Structure 1
């Protein structure tokens, strides 16, 4: 029985069965400036609104830092991602003009980066917007089309974070609702975090450790009790980023960032369950119950709270299997025991004398 239990446990919990859940928003930063990669199929206008909701703007390339990050990202991304460039209403593209007549959605509308390479060479006269496509090329598409995602520019402290949330409560901060800092406002209260922390995505009133670079000092309560943000491993009182891309977490291509990573698929494939690539034709109705797992402070794996139902279902299956196995084994044992008793009784029975 114990062997059976061990086999079942190994089947369900073998290494790699659960992987760290990647976020749909991944920040790639240099100093205080960041570009966030957002994997969400939306049209151009929805992408603009999503960037603003995270205290940013759809990406415009008007600073050396953003251009440097963008050039590096261009080599690693697969798919099409909206950037903040569109054709003015009622205009046609002009192949001889800088940026083909397109304008940036913010900043200097006519600023031209040093390297621009277009996928097509056609004059277009309908509402068009631009996305970064494969092979570092810029692609013109209908603004109503849905791409694989979009790129935002923002500051590190706002990267992938929604705007400050106002919690409605009549007594404001009197009950101490925030883990770190609380500010009373007319409608209720707002929470903020100390330096080195950021609001928790699941509960903005709480704070979690944050490191916006490759190595950060660990937060130590004592010499032997130190903590690191998720996605970092503890060294000698320092926290070092885990490069999940070196661990072959993604099937096709991978982008690592401080504290996280994001997977991408080649043309003709669709990303499923954050890390798997399946043929686009087979993706419809595709469902995977692989549980999400996060890296915790010491670099080990931790099951995320959102997948408890998966493990509950697994244990139900294990329990039912064990019960059935017990009944089957007991049935076989009883059956053999009865057969053995019948054989022994037949051998022990007296033989009548026969006269010839």
Structure 2
């Protein structure tokens, strides 16, 4: 029962912990900007650390309230919200300091500068008092000490702006209302200051403006929110950006961004993705931009493989790379662009080889010093190689006793140098059947009717109907009937036995019977010998008695 209770507590702890972490993608529930400062309220239950991390993740900090202006901004922002909200005020020292304005607390910006304070009358100045601060509308936005682990109703984030755009209500006609949206995630109609990237849309004419040091009318740069266009933004190096609409509709002449259906247009019902064109026969059909072609449905546009045209990228050592809607020319591997040409890149300059490097057109080749050969597992590295029965070891010039031999050789100290001697692996019965020693390695082979497996073992072919008698010569047979030989770089870990399991059992049984028989015979012989000696002792004559007179009384 205790285990079940512990599991339930653990699950609840995980659930509570997840609830304490606000969704990082959640938009704020309101915002307000004054000058170069913006404030946002998040109604997400969280502890102080989670709230601080959330604000930081959105390029902000927990709110500072350094002046009456900031205090009034929070009053406007929290007017309709109840509950306590974290601000960026917390205490790092052990005890409060009643002599300072912030009472020993500091802002999330790691400073204690402030022209304003609004502590609750019941401020606790003891060392054990809570270390974080929250406020609420119910308490007239007074700063109340709160445990940092407590989950309050929400938190307030603050953002510093490099510049801001003023409200557009002052420059538009009174009957034209404006709706704002900001990159900080909040919007509305009553914003007085807007951060960069904010969009203003008039409710009557649907004109759009973007805040970029000043209000720019749409269509603006196509790289920013598609220029404000409802459909697509077109770029023309000779003209300003312009909006385009799907076939069957046209751009609104007033706002230049929205699309309106053209009455009686035959393309309106075709649903072309890019364009609708009228042919010579008067029939309309869909068309696509350069680099695309009409898809199987006759409406969508799919990428066209421009590299299918062999005339693309005709230069020497060039290659064509297809891109979405086009292609690009690149140099082949091993070449680099220089003055519009693809010239060979000297890979050896970066020293890719362990020993020697030879540059080749578009590539390179590694080679090794005498006594070495290219490592078969890595063509850029070299390994020791002898190739004969005996060779001189490779020794450390600073330590003559630290010597190395190629694989398959063993070091033998001599005067005045150390030699590497070839190891006869065949002497250790590494192979199931036949073995041929080579310099630095060995080759296994199998009798006829067997197949070499894992370069060491011999398995009988399944299609063999009769067992092959005699050795018949050692060959290495593969499943397809070909004869091969395999060179080994390392010795196998299993040594095949020359005695079968049945033969081994028979030998053991015979040995046991022989021992039992010997013991039985020994006991029998010793028993007989003891009995004979006993009889001889019983019949022996006493002193002075002649033989043959035993048991007879002598007469005087």
The TM-score normalised by the length of structure 1 is: 0.37
**With CA pairs under 8 Å and 6+ residues apart, which has the higher RCO, 1 or 2?**
1
The TM-score normalised by the length of structure 2 is: 0.25
Q: Name the larger-Rg structure.
A: 2
Greater percentage in helix: 1
